[in-house]
Structure 1
Amino acid sequence: MSTLDEVGERDAWRCWLCDEPVDPDASVNSDRGPSIDGGATPKGKKAAPGSERLAHRACNTRKGAVKPVVAWSPTLFVVEPAPIVSTVERLTRKGGREVVGRCPTRADAEEAAVWLVDRLSRFAPQLRATATVEPGGGQFLLVAHAGTR
């Protein structure tokens, strides 16, 4: 198992769930304090080396034993965005491409594509993700493409 400092440095002191900064000097008992999420491991088993992720204590607690929800940025104009966690799971397992949202303008879609690639690079570093914008039906489709590293 890695130490808090090792995981924090590897994850650039950002919470893998909410993508907000984690204060390395905050108390581990504080809601915004650092915490290590061991990932999905069966009960009684140790986490695989390197599978731990940095999270705020509150984010880690809120996640509990349910699948985490990773929000899209509220500053983006994306209609019916796909759930990020499910999208990452499918792209990791199958590769290929997946439409993850629709945008009313090309500029909105391009802004969302840049944000998505940046977010996925931190959320799922093992995934080599790119995003493209494709016109379709009077709107612009945001398409995620992936392979593994």
Structure 2
Amino acid sequence: MSNLQEIGDRDGWRCWLCDEPVDPDMSVNDPRGPSVDGIATAKKSKAKAVQERLAHRACNTRKGAVKPVVPWPDHLFVVDPAPIVGVVEQLSRKGGRVAVARCPGESDAEAAAQWLVDRLSRFAPELDVTTRIDAGGGGYLLVLETR
């Protein structure tokens, strides 16, 4: 297990779950204090690799031992948003493209695309992605693609 300072420095002192800043000087017992979350990642072999990420104590506790949920923000107007963690896992394994949300207006889709690329730059920095917006059916489809 790595130490908290190394993980915090690597993750820019931001919680990987809520994307809010983590204060490195706050007590590790405080709900907003820093903690290390060990994420088991499935590999093709039977062994699982563990990736360590920085999280607030409360975010880490709330997640528990279940698959994390990274929420889409309320200020974005998206319909049927895809679960971000599942999309990242799929694109990391296979590459390609995934439709991640529908938006009623082009400006809504552009705002969602900008937020998603920014969020993924911290959530999954190893995943190189772009977005595409496709018009159709009276709305706009937001597509995430690997490069």
Check whether the contact 1:95–1:145 (CA below 8 A) recurs between aligned residues.
yes
Deviation sequence 1:46-72 (CA, Å, 0-9, x none): 965xx2100000111111111001001
Partner of 1:110: helix, strand, or coil? helix
> Displaced runs of 4+ in structure 1, greater than 6 A?
none
Partner of 2:17: helix, strand, or coil? coil
Check whether the contact 1:38–1:47 (CA below 8 A) recurs between aligned residues.
no
Q: Kindly report which structure 2 residues correspond to 1:36-75, keeping only aligned pairs within 5 A, or say none.
A: 36-40=36-40, 48=50, 51-75=51-75
Write the distance in 2 (CA, Å) between the matches of 1:73 and 1:102: 15
Matched, 1:87 2:87: yes
Partner of 2:65: helix, strand, or coil? coil
Partner of 2:114: helix, strand, or coil? helix
Count residues with an aligned counterpart: 143
Check whether the contact 2:40–2:48 (CA below 8 A) recurs between aligned residues.
no
Task: Tell me the TM-score normalized by structure 2.
Answer: 0.91
Write the distance in 2 (CA, Å) between the matches of 1:41 and 1:90: 12
Give the structure 2 partner of residue 12 of structure 1: 12
User: Percent identity of the aligned residues?
Assistant: 69
Partner of 1:40: helix, strand, or coil? strand
Q: Kindly report which structure 2 residues correspond to 1:88-103, keeping only aligned pairs within 5 A, or say none.
A: 88-103=88-103
Give the structure 2 partner of residue 3 of structure 1: 3
Write the distance in 1 (CA, Å) between the matches of 2:141 and 2:49: 37
CA 20–125 in structure 1, closer or farther in 2 if over 3 Å, else same: same
Check whether the contact 1:13–1:24 (CA below 8 A) recurs between aligned residues.
yes
Deviation sequence 1:61-94 (CA, Å, 0-9, x none): 1111110010011111111100001111111111
CA 40–130 in structure 1, closer or farther in 2 if over 3 Å, else same: same
Give the structure 1 partner of residue 120 of structure 2: 120
Gaps of 5+ in 1: none
Amino acid at match of 1:22: V
Give the structure 1 partner of residue 110 of structure 2: 110
Q: CA deviation at 1:41?
A: 6.6
Partner of 1:111: helix, strand, or coil? helix
Partner of 1:52: helix, strand, or coil? strand
Task: Tell me the TM-score normalized by structure 1.
Answer: 0.90
CA 83–130 in structure 1, closer or farther in 2 if over 3 Å, else same: same
Amino acid at match of 2:71: A
Q: CA deviation at 1:36?
A: 0.6
Write the distance in 1 (CA, Å) between the matches of 2:71 and 2:23: 21
